[in-house]
């Protein structure tokens, strides 16, 4: 440990710490707009400058190392004036539409301006004008609100390994855009939305479907149903100021019912169904010398990624639809049939932690005869916006239960929301399907936690099975390169596009950090620990669905409704 002084107070830090890291750990708030935890500093925004005794100029706290005996001033008049000047220059070229911006009240530029007391415009001039990019089904890009902090570029390139956007142009003409400055829809963007989560302003937002859902709820000729993903109940309360990891499942159901939805379903049910199909597919591939390793297909961002960058591995991808699309298909077939409702009268809405689900829902593979299985997808943020618009306070409602037949779920389906949860749920049921016996301990510690890559070797009744879990597409790229190079000890791989899995999805509350992800995961695993039903194959309503409608896993009707195939994609599609 080394000792130094900040604002006349003696504090300690670890050798090699940056000034920013050391000050934050000692409770000193230093604003920044470009810094990203766990990535090398860029020192681009200069908002974090501090004064160091013995140095003539101000130094960026995010990239300058702390040293023994250093004396730092974090809020001297010179420092405050420099921060104000940078903020005022940013605001000089920023739209004055805070009242209409979806990030109003949760905008880092707005917050810094407030904290620094910037209350009047000092710099005036001709503003740069840029066109709104609404070409993507998932992400809306407003370049006029971009402050060139570079976070989205770094997330897309360094974390996700997609590189759909970058700095283009030179000097004062520099902007962030796609190759040839075209729309996101013809770029390599995989719609994961991680750029939205790290953007400090409203330059990147999800394409909203809130108004369409409100209109559907008000239409007496429509029967509107909603499903909510496993991760939603442990995150949506954060949108209302509740601490991360709080499970609001029952109150969420009650709130959605109050909003006017005719039926409220739990996507954890179709997660159980996914396990039945995916586990059976894995066993079939193992027994019949099929293509291995088999790779999960739950994450639509991952699917578009492999279609674009690793089309040679498409035969390895499971043919199972995602839980969202499985339930969507069942709602407009089995449910419509049993309820005597014409499928075209049903408006199927899903609440997902993922912006890529918006892209997935509009894929032609999931619109048989031109009728989409899922009509509208709301992110966690949009769902909270919908409830506010409807004047609903979740905290004041009594918890309620989701509707049958798609309301019962196992905790195996619930842990789909955590990175590694799909694999753990699949192993529990695959073990039973192979041996006829339950796992002696359903908890698989090696597959849990926030590590971006986890591996495990299993012995299932003499059958050696290697499994791997990766979250974040940069980590997936590393593993896919190993597989492409001939690695053969892995037989089953779970890939989630977003770091941490769905609990860290691109549609989750803004302000995402590793601690929030940990708390959400912890809650999901606590639900699993305390649940009486911990395996998908014992879900009574799933069993009933097979008896009355689907037949058997991998059967003809199951293939027709619950499976699909993907093809090579160039960036122009």
**Alpha helical stretches, state H, 75-126:** 77-92, 108-115
DSSP 405: S
Is there a catalytic annotation at residue 365? yes
Tell me the sheet residues that pair with 175: 168
304 is catalytic: no
Which is the catalytic residue, given 108, 238, 239, 281? 281
Q: Which of 68, 81, 115, 365 is catalytic?
A: 365
Round to whole Å and give the CA distance between 335 and 322: 18
298 assigned to active site: yes
Residue 226 burial (C-beta neighbours within 10 Å; 0-12, 13-18, 19+): buried
Max distance between CA atoms of the chain, in angstroms, equals 80
What is the C-alpha to C-alpha distance for residues 285 and 295, in angstroms, rounded to an integer? 12
Q: Catalytic site residue 98?
A: no
Q: Exactly one of 502, 516, 519, 536 is catalytic; which is it?
A: 502
145, 357, 358, 414: which one is catalytic? 357
CA distance 278 to 443: 19
Q: Which residues pair with 557 in a beta bridge?
A: none
Q: Out of 146, 199, 298, 320, which one is annotated catalytic?
A: 298
SS3 readout for 417-456: HCCCHHHHHHHHHHHHHHHCCCCCCCCCHHHCCCCCEEEE
What gap in Å lies between CA 448 and CA 453, rounded to an integer?
10
Annotated catalytic residue within 270, 297, 318, 348: 318
Q: How far apart are CA 433 and CA 456, in angstroms?
A: 19
The single residue of 51, 360, 382, 408 carrying the catalytic annotation is 360
Q: Is 318 a catalytic residue?
A: yes
Question: Residue 401 is encoded by which pair of tokens?
Answer: 């239960």
Kindly compute the dihedral angle of the four CA atoms of residues 549, 554, 558, 564, in this order, to the nearest 10 degrees: 170
Catalytic residue, from 51, 277, 278, 519: name it: 278
Q: How many CA atoms lie within 13 A of 136 on its CB side?
A: 29
Tokens describing residue 64: 């300058």
Determine how β-strand 223-228 pairs with β-strand 204-206. Answer: unpaired
The answer to whether residue 357 is catalytic is yes
Residue 47: C-alpha distances to residues 21, 107, 297, 564 (Å): 15, 15, 42, 49
Backbone dihedral region for residue 28 (phi beyond 0: left; psi -120 to 50: alpha; all else: beta): beta
State CA 268 to chain mean position distance. 17
Reply yes or no on whether 158 is catalytic. Answer: no
The tokens 């905290």 sit on which residue? 395
Neighbours of 387 (CB within 10 A): 20
HSE-CB for 362 with a 13 A CA cutoff: 13
Whether 360 is a known active-site residue: answer: yes
Task: Provide the annotated active-site residues.
Answer: 278, 281, 298, 318, 357, 360, 365, 502
């Amino acid at each position: 440990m080394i000792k130094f002084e900040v604002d006349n107070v003696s504090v300690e830090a670890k050798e090699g710490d940056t000034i920013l890291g050391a000050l934050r750990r000692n409770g000193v708030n230093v604003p920044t707009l470009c810094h990203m935890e766990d990535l090398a500093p860029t020192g681009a925004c200069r908002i974090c400058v501090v004064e160091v005794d013995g140095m003539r100029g101000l130094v960026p706290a995010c990239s300058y190392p702390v040293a023994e005996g250093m004396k730092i001033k974090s809020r001297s008049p010179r420092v405050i004036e420099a921060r104000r000047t940078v903020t005022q220059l940013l605001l000089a070229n920023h739209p004055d539409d805070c009242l209409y911006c979806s990030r109003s009240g949760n905008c880092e530029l707005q917050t810094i301006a407030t904290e620094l007391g910037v209350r009047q415009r000092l710099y005036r001039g001709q503003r740069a004008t840029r066109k709104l990019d609404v070409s993507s089904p998932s992400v809306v890009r407003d370049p006029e609100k971009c402050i060139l902090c570079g976070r989205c570029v770094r997330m897309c390139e360094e974390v996700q390994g997609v590189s759909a956007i970058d700095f283009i142009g030179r000097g004062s003409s520099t902007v962030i855009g796609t190759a040839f400055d075209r729309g996101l829809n013809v770029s390599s963007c995989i719609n994961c939305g991680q750029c939205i989560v790290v953007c400090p302003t409203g330059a990147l937002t999800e394409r909203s479907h809130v108004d369409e859902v409100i209109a559907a709820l008000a239409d007496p000729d429509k029967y509107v149903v909603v499903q909510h993903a496993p991760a939603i109940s442990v995150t949506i309360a954060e949108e209302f100021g509740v601490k991360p990891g709080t499970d609001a499942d029952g109150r969420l159901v009650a709130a959605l019912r109050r909003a006017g939805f005719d039926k409220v379903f739990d996507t954890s049910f179709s997660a159980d169904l996914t396990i039945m199909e995916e586990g059976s597919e894995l066993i079939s591939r193992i027994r019949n010398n099929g293509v291995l390793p088999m790779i999960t297909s739950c994450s639509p961002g991952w699917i578009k990624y492999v279609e674009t960058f690793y089309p040679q591995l498409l035969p390895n991808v499971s043919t199972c639809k995602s839980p969202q699309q499985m339930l969507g298909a069942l709602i407009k077939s089995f449910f419509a049939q049993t309820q005597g409702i014409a499928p075209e009268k049903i408006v199927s809405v899903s609440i997902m932690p993922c912006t890529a689900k918006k892209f997935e829902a509009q894929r032609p593979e999931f619109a048989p005869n031109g009728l989409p299985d899922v009509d509208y997808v709301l992110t966690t943020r949009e769902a909270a916006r919908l409830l506010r618009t409807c004047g609903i306070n979740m905290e004041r409602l009594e918890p309620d239960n989701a509707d049958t037949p798609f309301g019962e779920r196992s905790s195996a389906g619930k842990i789909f929301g955590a990175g590694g949860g799909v694999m753990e749920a699949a192993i529990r049921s695959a073990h039973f399907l192979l041996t006829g016996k339950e796992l002696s301990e359903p908890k698989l510690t090696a597959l849990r936690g926030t590590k971006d890559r986890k591996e495990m070797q299993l012995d299932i009744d003499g059958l050696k099975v290697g499994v791997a879990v990766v979250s974040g597409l940069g980590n997936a790229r590393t593993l896919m390169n190993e597989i492409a190079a001939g690695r053969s000890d892995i037989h089953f791989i779970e890939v989630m596009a977003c770091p941490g899995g769905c609990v860290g999805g691109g549609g989750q509350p803004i302000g995402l950090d590793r601690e929030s992800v940990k708390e959400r995961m912890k809650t999901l695993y606590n639900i699993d620990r305390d649940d009486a039903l911990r395996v998908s194959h014992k879900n009574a309503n799933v069993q009933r669905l097979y008896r009355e409608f689907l037949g058997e896993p991998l059967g003809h009707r199951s293939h027709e409704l619950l499976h699909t195939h993907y093809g090579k994609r160039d960036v122009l599609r």
